[in-house]
């Protein structure tokens, strides 16, 4: 569900190319796409609503931490050999989003389109390159 009051635009739709063939992780990736769409919707709104920016950043951080925890537990449980590198990517992403949050809290404004571009670019690269590595590993292992 969107935190926005107006109609959602859903510029980004789930595509099977994002699937890692792990139902729980795919479901979480779909939720992240929903949050990214919320960020996009906020970036094109005419009226600036700072409380919504703060909420959407909080939602993103909260959900992404939950997702990363799920993914990292799965990788650890199945002894994924590149776990440390993968976790490092997660930590860097959280750090960058927290920088956006800190800047927002200090300045009470944020170019939301920059947040959208960063999150979307990172997310697509992470799934299509980094997550696909563990998908291939598990497919070859089984």
Predicted confidence (pLDDT) per residue in 21-54, tens digit: 999 999 999 999 999 999 999 888 756 677 788 9
Phi first, then psi: give them for residue 70, nearest 5 degrees: -60, -50
The pLDDT tens digits for 104-117 are: 999 888 888 999 99
Task: Identify the burial level of 123 via C-beta atoms within 10 angstroms of its C-beta, where 0-12 means exposed, 13-18 middle and 19 or more buried.
Answer: buried
CATH number for the domain running over 46-141: 1.20.120.50
- 8 Å CB contact between 118 and 96: yes
pTM for the whole structure: 0.88
- CA 88, 125, 53, 61 dihedral sign is negative
For 36, residues 6+ apart whose C-beta sits below 8 A from its C-beta are 12, 116, 119, 120, 123
């Amino acid at each position: 569900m969107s935190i926005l009051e107006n109609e959602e635009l859903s510029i980004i739709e789930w595509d099977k190319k994002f699937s890692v063939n792990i139902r729980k992780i795919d479901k979480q990736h779909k939720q992240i796409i929903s949050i990214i769409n919320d960020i996009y919707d906020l970036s094109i709104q005419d009226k600036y609503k700072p409380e919504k920016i703060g909420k959407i950043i909080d939602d993103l951080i909260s959900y992404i931490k939950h997702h990363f925890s799920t993914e990292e537990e799965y990788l650890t449980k199945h002894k994924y050999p590149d776990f440390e590198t993968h976790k490092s990517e997660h930590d860097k992403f959280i750090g960058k989003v927290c920088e956006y949050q800190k800047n927002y809290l200090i300045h009470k404004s944020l170019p939301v389109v920059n947040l959208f571009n960063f999150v979307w670019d990172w997310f697509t690269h992470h799934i299509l390159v980094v997550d696909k590595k563990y998908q291939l590993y598990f497919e070859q292992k089984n």
